[in-house]
Amino acid sequence: MITFSGNPLDRTAARRDDEAWLAERRANGRVLALHEGKPLMRGDELAWLDGAGNNALFLGMDGETAVFAVETDDARDGEFRELRAVALLLPADEAAIVAAAKSLFEWHARHRFCSNCGHATTVFSAGWKRVCPSCAAEHFPRVDPVVIMLPLRGDRCLLGRQFAWPKGRMAPLAGFVEPGESIEEACAREVQEEAGLSARHVTYHASQPWPFPSSLMFGLFVEVEGEGIPDGVELEEVRWLTRDEARSMLDGRHPDLLAPNRYAIGQVLLTHWVEQT
Ligand SMILES: [Zn+2]
């Protein structure tokens, strides 16, 4: 399972505008509390609340139970913790629910005003739409596509390190898809821009919802030609690794390299490649 995917809720999108149906379910609903993207925890477990107010966002159904989310600064007897810090402590299905709620709240926080006319907008559809009362434009939660790819040449893969990262931390290359690009074209542009590599063949592997704040990562392998030279703008360093070197990095045994974050799809790509013989 890829972290942040596998949300078990039935989103029940057809009921998002059914106020009578929602009202019945709010009273007995389970509520996820977040503050500035941080879930409310008690110890290492999510602190679910009972009963949803009218402003709670409807995330979907867990069997017969409706699940909602609220933005609040009331920590009660729990503690708001960074999602990055608890992503691997939570059961995978709960991490996916938190990720969906976090992305939704961050979209609301950044889209309070109409991008068409500038008027304040109003929440509709139990949190899945904002509507402008002035120009009637409808705004929907955004997902930004990102390509993340492991460049391969012969029996080696290439990893890069951004300037801001800790020394030794390496990961596959990544970048936002631009308007008018296919996934393959975005991948080819990014490996050329960041490492001077020419893409020859792109293979899709898997995707990951990435709630920082709301991306969808397309995980790819790309056969490349070229030496691999860091651009000096985004990447400070690139390195070609054999499977043995990558394996020791993933196992924490490499003398000077640190693997990608364990909850990131970069780790999934690297692990998949290492396990191929
Ligand atoms: Zn407007």
What is the Å distance from ligand 1's center to 131 Cα?
A: 8
Structure confidence at residue 121 (pLDDT): 98
What is the Å distance from ligand 1's center to 106 Cα?
A: 20
Structure confidence at residue 76 (pLDDT): 82
What is the Å distance from ligand 1's center to 119 Cα?
A: 5
Give the pLDDT band of residue 174 (cuts 50, 70, 90).
very high
Mean local confidence (pLDDT), 188-215: 98
Give the pLDDT band of residue 190 (cuts 50, 70, 90).
very high
Structure confidence at residue 224 (pLDDT): 98
What is the Å distance from ligand 1's center to 17 Cα?
A: 21
Mean local confidence (pLDDT), 270-275: 97
What is the Å distance from ligand 1's center to 56 Cα?
A: 24
What is the Å distance from ligand 1's center to 139 Cα?
A: 9
What is the Å distance from ligand 1's center to 114 Cα?
A: 5
| Radius of gyration of the chain, Cα coordinates, nearest whole angstrom | 21
Mean local confidence (pLDDT), 53-78: 95
What is the Å distance from ligand 1's center to 19 Cα?
A: 24
Structure confidence at residue 90 (pLDDT): 97
DSSP SS3 for 26: helix
Structure confidence at residue 77 (pLDDT): 81
136: left (phi over 0), alpha (psi -120 to 50) or beta: left
Determine the Cα–Cα distance for residues 88 and 231; give it in Å rounded to an integer.
Answer: 33
Query: What percentage of the chain carries pLDDT values higher than 70?
Result: 100
Place of tokens 């080696």: 156
DSSP SS3 for 80: strand
CA-closest candidate to residue 128, choices 215, 16, 12, 25:
16
The pTM of this model reads 0.95
pLDDT in tens, 90-147: 999 999 999 999 999 999 999 999 999 999 999 999 999 999 999 999 999 999 999 9
Neighbours of ion ligand 1 (CB under 5 A): 114, 116-117, 119, 132, 134-135, 137
What is the Å distance from ligand 1's center to 130 Cα?
A: 10
Structure confidence at residue 196 (pLDDT): 97
Residue 1 has pLDDT above 90, yes or no: no
What is the Å distance from ligand 1's center to 128 Cα?
A: 17
Mean local confidence (pLDDT), 69-90: 94
Task: List, in order, residues 6 or more apart from 248 with CB less than 8 Å away.
Answer: 254
Query: What percentage of the chain carries pLDDT values higher than 90?
Result: 98
Quick one: angle between helices 265-275 and 243-250, nearest 10? Answer: 130
What is the Å distance from ligand 1's center to 111 Cα?
A: 11
Residue 232 has pLDDT above 80, yes or no: yes
Pairing of β 45-46 and β 144-153:
unpaired
Q: How far, in whole angstroms, is CA 96 from its chain's centroid?
A: 9
Task: List, in order, residues 6 or more apart from 124 with CB less than 8 Å away.
Answer: 17, 130, 131, 138
Q: Give me the phi and psi of 109, to 5 degrees please.
A: -60, -30
Structure confidence at residue 249 (pLDDT): 97
Is 264 or 277 the better-scoring residue by pLDDT?
Answer: 264
